[in-house]
Chain A
Amino acid sequence: MKFYFALLLMGLLTQNFILAKFLGICPFLGVSKKLNTAAGMSAAVIFVMCLATAVCYPINLFLESHDLAYLQTIVFILVIAALVQFLETVMKKYMKPLYRALGIYLPLITTNCAVLGVVILNVDNGYNFPQSMVNSFAAGLGFGLAMILFAGVRGRIENNDIPKFMEGLPITLVAAALVSLSFLGFTGIIEGMGLM
């Protein structure tokens, strides 16, 4: 139980996918302009991450038992791509409200390295099934937290006068640096709470 809580805290704070691991930077910079799009994207990412982990875990067991571990990358990315496409179709047909909320973000998720990243990390760390699921969920939550926090920061930036040469992407990146710096403050929280 302790370990699951540690996983959750790691994904959310100390090992935050965006701010500490640099996974999923494209959507972080691209889709965080408005709060509602940031939230929608995050929800879609959490959903796909958990689903991808659930599907990839048994597949990986099969690959490893047949000495095919070298096919991991290619199989995982194909599974994710297929999964996203499938999800989109199913949602479009049977879950209209959910599709309207999350559907538009789905195609962008295939090339989101956070999703493939979490699947590979689960395998690399040798997590078992429940640990993988918790880790994926935590990573997704952490992604969401960073996205939503940053959407707020960007809202503030837009209302300010910025030196001309820093306008646009440069100031966004510097702001991201500050948000990332603040997350550095959580370092050691897991060890401090005696969870690890």
Chain B
Amino acid sequence: MNKRKKPLYQEFTKGIIKQNPVLRLVLGTCATLAITTSFVNGLGMGLAVIVVLVCSNVVISLLRKAIPNKVRIPAYIIVIASFVTIVQMIVKAYIPVLDQALGIFLPLIVVNCIILGRAEAFAGKNSVIASALDGLGMGIGFTAALCTMGLLRELVGAGTIMSGLQSLLSIFGDHVLGGFDGIDLYEVFPALEKLSFEPITLFLLPSGGFFTFGILMAITNRIAEGKGEKKAELHDCGSCPMAASCRMKPEEEKKEESA
């Protein structure tokens, strides 16, 4: 990274921990829960989101003065959907394994609130470089959260670590990272099988997804509180892309007033 002014550097780092989109802002929960059945799936999804997020942030930031305010949301959606489709086509052509693993959640990146949320909250108002850094940081934060979830669920649910890594890395060559293709605990510790020790498959099922996410959330909340930050809470309208057109909040307040 070039030595830039401090604020710019912070645009990059804030998304990774302090404002982690998944664990702090609670955005993009659907993809987080659905595809984190293995580390590799989480990594693949994360990489796809990084590409879309950086590209759309840059383009939207470039166009921010040309897009009329009234139609900015549809315009953002077109830009984002285009990049999602491009990523989808590339994945289909060059990493078919990932295409199968992510399934419908690949096109659904379009409605991932992180991307539209960053477009609305950041890229539409800031310079190109800042937006690119913001997108990269947020994307890496998203990927890190997904990988953590994937690692945990895979370890507990299947007894493997990073299995199938080569199929994802195959775009970079045939024998990346010394051909490391994950660890199968049952191969490393044959004793496990003798003890008829079974992995807890439940963690790979939807229910395990909710559970793992809940525990991770509790841990991050605890750490955040220790640092004097507030808890992660849904309905933080600041991070919601629809905040401008949404009347949920005032409506609820109104009801409470009249009651």
> Which residues on A are within 8 Å of B, measured CB to CB?
19-26, 29-31, 37, 70-74, 77-78, 81-82, 103-105, 107-108, 110-113, 116-117, 120-121, 124, 165-174, 176-178, 180-181, 184
Establish whether residues B207 and A177, one from each chain, have CB atoms under 8 Å apart when the complex forms.
yes
| 9 pairs from A and B in contact (CB 8 Å cutoff) | A23-B34, A26-B234, A111-B116, A116-B108, A165-B221, A176-B214, A177-B214, A178-B207, A181-B202
B26 at interface, CB cutoff 8 A = yes
Establish whether residues A107 and B110, one from each chain, have CB atoms under 8 Å apart when the complex forms.
no
Establish whether residues A111 and B214, one from each chain, have CB atoms under 8 Å apart when the complex forms.
no
Given A21-B34, A116-B110, 5 other A-B contacts at CB below 8 A?
Answer: A78-B74, A110-B242, A116-B107, A116-B108, A173-B214
Establish whether residues A180 and B207, one from each chain, have CB atoms under 8 Å apart when the complex forms.
yes
Q: Which of A71, A72, A113, A172 contacts B214 (CB 8 A)?
A: A172
Which chain B residue shows the least CB distance to A174? B214
Asked if A120 meets B104 with Cβ closer than 8 Å, knowing A26-B30, A111-B111, A169-B234, the reply is yes
B211 at interface, CB cutoff 8 A = yes
Asked if A74 meets B213 with Cβ closer than 8 Å, knowing A26-B113, A111-B116, A168-B233, the reply is no
Closest 7 CB pairs of A and B: A173-B214, A177-B210, A22-B34, A170-B218, A74-B81, A177-B211, A181-B207
Establish whether residues A104 and B206, one from each chain, have CB atoms under 8 Å apart when the complex forms.
no
CB distance from B101 to the nearest CB of A (A): 14
CB distance from A83 to the nearest CB of B (A): 12
Interface string of B97-111 (1 = CB under 8 A from A): 000000010011011
CA distance A169 to B221 in the complex (A): 9
Establish whether residues A26 and B214, one from each chain, have CB atoms under 8 Å apart when the complex forms.
no
Asked if A77 meets B81 with Cβ closer than 8 Å, knowing A116-B111, A171-B214, the reply is yes
CA distance A194 to B31 in the complex (A): 33
CA distance A71 to B88 in the complex (A): 11
Establish whether residues A173 and B241, one from each chain, have CB atoms under 8 Å apart when the complex forms.
no
CA distance A73 to B34 in the complex (A): 19
Q: In chain B between 218 and 239, which residues have their CB closer than 8 angstroms to a CB of chain A?
A: 218, 221-222, 231-235
Q: Which of A73, A104, A168 contacts B88 (CB 8 A)?
A: A73
Which chain A residue shows the least CB distance to B80? A77
Establish whether residues A169 and B33, one from each chain, have CB atoms under 8 Å apart when the complex forms.
no
Q: In chain B between 169 and 205, which residues have their CB closer than 8 angstroms to a CB of chain A?
A: 202, 205
Establish whether residues A22 and B206, one from each chain, have CB atoms under 8 Å apart when the complex forms.
yes
- Residue among B77, B107, B215 with most chain A CB within 10 A: B107
Asked if A170 meets B207 with Cβ closer than 8 Å, knowing A22-B34, A78-B81, the reply is no
Q: Within 8 Å CB of A171, what residues of B?
A: 214
Establish whether residues A169 and B26, one from each chain, have CB atoms under 8 Å apart when the complex forms.
yes
Q: In chain B between 65 and 99, which residues have their CB closer than 8 angstroms to a CB of chain A?
A: 73-74, 77-78, 81-82, 84-85, 88-89
Q: Within 8 Å CB of A70, what residues of B?
A: 85, 89
Establish whether residues B85 and A73, one from each chain, have CB atoms under 8 Å apart when the complex forms.
yes
Q: Within 8 Å CB of B232, what residues of A?
A: 168-169
Establish whether residues A169 and B89, one from each chain, have CB atoms under 8 Å apart when the complex forms.
no
CB distance from B251 to the nearest CB of A (A): 5
CB distance from B42 to the nearest CB of A (A): 14
Asked if A124 meets B82 with Cβ closer than 8 Å, knowing A22-B206, A29-B234, the reply is no
Q: Within 8 Å CB of A37, what residues of B?
A: 252
B15 at interface, CB cutoff 8 A = no
B208 at interface, CB cutoff 8 A = yes
Establish whether residues B221 and A108, one from each chain, have CB atoms under 8 Å apart when the complex forms.
no
Q: Within 8 Å CB of B221, what residues of A?
A: 165, 168-170
CA distance A19 to B252 in the complex (A): 27
CB distance from B257 to the nearest CB of A (A): 16
B29 at interface, CB cutoff 8 A = yes
Q: Within 8 Å CB of A19, what residues of B?
A: 206
- Residue among A37, A72, A111 with most chain B CB within 10 A: A111
CB distance from A150 to the nearest CB of B (A): 11
- Residue among A31, A112, A165, A170 with most chain B CB within 10 A: A170
CA distance A176 to B74 in the complex (A): 33
Establish whether residues B26 and A180, one from each chain, have CB atoms under 8 Å apart when the complex forms.
no
Q: Within 8 Å CB of A77, what residues of B?
A: 77, 81, 110-111
